[in-house]
Structure 1
Amino acid sequence: MKKITLPFGQETLEISLPDERVAGILVSHAHEYKAAKTETELVSEALANPIGSPRLSELAKGKSTCVIISSDHTRPVPSHIIMPQLLKELRAANPDIVISILVATGMHRPPTKDELIQKYGAEIANKESFIIHVSRNDDDMVSVGTLPSGGDCRINKAAANADLLISEGFIEPHFFAGMSGGRKSVLPGIASQVTVLANHCSEFIDNPNARTGILKGNPIHEDMLYAAKAAKLAFICNVVINADKKIIAAFAGDCEKAHYQGVEFEMALAGVRPVPADIVVSTNGGYPLDQNLYQSVKGMTAAEATCKEGGVIIMCSACSDGHGGIDFYNTLKESSDIQQAMNIIISRSRNETVFDQWESQILLRLLLHFTIIMVTRAPKQLVEDMHLRYAETFEDALQQADDILWHKGIQNPKITIIPDGVSVIVK
């Protein structure tokens, strides 16, 4: 028997499969990469040797205000390691600089106080000045230009008005932006709903270059890069993490050059070859990335890249926070016909994009080709409302998958396992 450990919320699922049924296990090499230095040392070294930029201490001189864009609670960015070093270097060079931490919620809900403490540590969460971005608050936004796609580029005015704008984040495969990190802290991180909706339009989501691991020719990436430059994002500190959410590499400096070096490092580790199978098991990497169904679509797309047409995806994702987006949930719940729902989304122009449409579009794309079974803590009714099948246990999910495929004339179907679906680029 093949025994495999899957991340699931803040715990794990232990599954066992007959050896003869396992077609392959797709794992990012980042999970086995051994850094020669500690997490703190890696970040410190990156800040001391910025890529394509002066040191942060030099940039801080003569500035009155600084805004640090920081990822929100849905991202496993180790801010408790990165943020203290950013604050220390800024204040060592300019003790009087006024610093604000702008939490890049994008279109997500605001973090709670407990989530801020968990992310930054009590000292920073209680003593530093935080601004929580709310994309729907038009009064908080200001225009800084026009996106290449033609959309209005509106960002949080706290960032636009800062003398120095920097960001922290992490780099991982992203299912339509190609890779996370860098420019993404601005769009969608601190952008207006108007800008996010234009960038996440059905035309772009449908573009074959808007896929995991692709930056060149990706219209979503091109918009995001423009937004970062228009916002005058002067410096970034991005990290690459392993399955334990530990830093294995850090990249600091220019928002484009440092990001690309980080992307190159991550892509060399994350790339895996597909192992086609009728059943593919995936996860969203555990907490915090598997808090809801909305985020879990990412891990499903890794399975999409290696699942045979008409096959079954078993998605193991805790989803303790439920659906993660009411518009996303309602779109699926109110759709009796999957193809018709997709046609409606595709027919919308860029200026007609609705909230969470992109997530609905990708999930509908998957449902048109595969059966998706959720092993989850989300309520059964909620899961079924979204045209997904529900399973309390992995064993239950596998039995359902076998039954579905048996009725299609497939017996003892092979299984490919992706223990961390958000960490790999299946190509």
Structure 2
Amino acid sequence: MKEQKLRIPYGSGGLETILPAQARVYTSRIDELPQRGDEDAIVREAMKNPIGSEPLWKLARGKKNAVVIVSDHTRPVPSRHILPFMLEELRRENPEIGITLLVATGCHRGTTPEELEAKLGRDIAQRERIVVHDCEIPESNVDIGVLPSGAHLIVDKAAAEADLLVAEGFIEPHFFAGYSGGRKSVLPGICDRVTVHGNHCAAFIDSPFARTGILEGNPIHRDMEAAARMAGLAYIVNVVIDEEKRVVAAFAGDALEAHAAGCTFLAPYCTLEVEEADIILTSNGGAPLDQNLYQAVKGMTAAEAAAAPGAILILCAECLDGTGGESFYRALAGCASPSALLEEIRKIPMDKTVADQWQYQILARVLEKHRVILVTRPELKETVAAMKMEYAASPGEALERALAAKGKDARIAVIPNGVSVVVKRR
């Protein structure tokens, strides 16, 4: 076997590295997806043939107003290939309908006007009425009921008061909800922090079913679906994107049925059967998903799923926005050990869940069993160390350090894009 040259996604570009001869590279089959025409045509075709629903233009008949939930700056949803057609159908037989684009920030920071323009295009960003959801303002959110878990469902008033609630989105593996898209536009997308915290509680995150690619038996997914129904999410347009973030498939119609169809379609293309490894190298998929350490936990879980006991995990993430959350940083930096932090978290009841708890719970779970080397910007070296990880300047440096610890013949698995795959151990 010979050494291999590979480009790992990182920021808006990538990092070149030379892999040892024994390294096995695992990539999804996402680029094998059968593309049925250009991106706009794919979306239009899906909207002409909605799943479990009437077409959007029929749903809009007689409605005074509609709210379209759109993704925020942290999601690579190709809105420019979805929103124009949703807006067109909403107005097709109801040109006077009032339309609000509600940006689903969940508990993230607010999306800026510049980010909205970059995401939606100048025409839509300047012409349409846009509201950025804020999970922190009680008066802008309203309690509409109780979820199966017992948590209160508190959603943005704009959505609760809409005659018609619809959403765009995209479907990819998600590290604790199973898959993104569909019902996630409502929970966590447009919910009050209280509801998000309940859904992301310690007991749910600890469930063995709250993992990438798992929907059946997943308590987080169950409450998300209930939230979508209770909020009246009537219709979605969700897409599947390839490694270049181009639309390759689309699913429109009923919020639950269309989403389920999309997940079923995607699963065989994104599932990897990986041999257990001593060293796993992966990334968070590049921008925008590797914008901070908080998001980078997602890629770590892909490496975790392929790891032998005591394996070393290497993650490449640019983290232009730093940690992504002060409480997230403080939890890891301030704990005696990942094990001690996990023990503390597991005692926290649902109604006492705090900001970012779920993210540092998952990171602590990974760190309890594995040494993690983070390839990122040198400015974050001290931050990375404080959070119980190791800094490396390049994938090559990280691999060299890992091989020194595990031996030159260590089993190496490389998963170039850790957030786009479902890893199953062979």
- Name the structure 1 match of 2:404: 403
**Residue of structure 1 equivalent to 2:7:** 5
- Residue 423 of structure 2 corresponds to residue 422 of structure 1: no
Query: What secondary structure, in the 3-state scheme, does the structure 2 residue paired with 1:256 have?
Result: helix
Residue by residue over 1:49-105, the C-alpha shift from the partner in whole angstroms, topping out at 9 and shown as x without a partner, is: 100000000000100110000111100000011111111111122100010100000
Name the amino acid aligned to 2:382: Q
Aligned counterparts of 2:303 and 2:160: Cα–Cα separation in 1: 39
- Corresponding position of 1:187: 187
Could you tell me how far apart the structure 2 residues matched to 1:149 and 1:45 are? Answer: 37
Match of 1:67 in 2: 67
2:228 equivalent to 1:231:
no
TM-score, normalising length from structure 1? 0.97
Deviation of 1:404 (Å): 2.9
Find the counterpart in structure 2 of residue 389 from structure 1. 390
Q: Which moved more, 1:161-170 or 1:338-347?
A: 338-347
Shift of residue 340 of structure 1?
Answer: 1.0
Q: Distance in 1 between matches of 2:252 and 2:93?
A: 17
Gaps of 5+ in 1: none
Q: How many residues align?
A: 421
Contact conserved, 2:204 with 2:219, CA < 8 A, in 1?
yes
Query: What are the within-5 Å matches in structure 2 for residues 137-176 of structure 1?
Result: 137-176=137-176
Q: Residue 381 of structure 1: CA displacement?
A: 1.3
- Paired AA for residue 334 in structure 2: E
Percent identity (aligned): 49
Q: How big is each residue's C-alpha offset from its partner over 1:356-396, in whole Å with a ceiling of 9 and x where there is no partner?
A: 00000000000011111111125111111211100111121
Shift of residue 276 of structure 1?
1.2
Q: Secondary structure at the match of 2:332?
A: helix
State which drifts further: 117-126 or 230-239.
Answer: 117-126
* Residue identity opposite 1:400 in structure 2: R
Amino acid at match of 2:347: S
Match of 2:19 in 1: 17
Distance (whole Å) between structure 1 residues aligned to residue 36 and residue 187 of structure 2: 33
Q: How does 1:1-400 map to 2 (within 5 A)?
A: 1-19=3-21, 21-22=22-23, 24-377=24-377, 379-400=380-401
- d(CA) in 1 for partners of 2:61 and 2:135? 31
Q: Secondary structure at the match of 1:153?
A: strand
Query: How far apart are 1:207 and its partner, in Å?
Result: 0.5
Counterpart CA distance in 1 for 2:7 and 2:31 is: 13
Aligned-pair CA distance for 1:130: 0.8
**Aligned partners of 2:210 and 2:218 also within 8 Å:** yes
CA contact 2:32–2:269 (8 Å) conserved in 1: no
Corresponding residue SS for 1:143: strand
Letter matched to residue 383 of structure 1: V
Secondary structure in 1 matching 2:46: helix
- Runs of 4 or more, structure 1, over 4 Å off, are none
Q: Measure, in 2, the Cα distance between the counterparts of 1:288 and 1:258.
A: 26
The CA deviation at 1:124 is 0.9
Cα distance in 1 between the residues matched to 2:252 and 2:164: 15
Q: Where does structure 2 lack aligned partners over 5 or more consecutive residues?
A: none
Shift of 1:138: 1.1
Whether the 8 Å contact between 2:18 and 2:396 is mirrored in structure 1 is no
TM-score (norm 2): 0.97
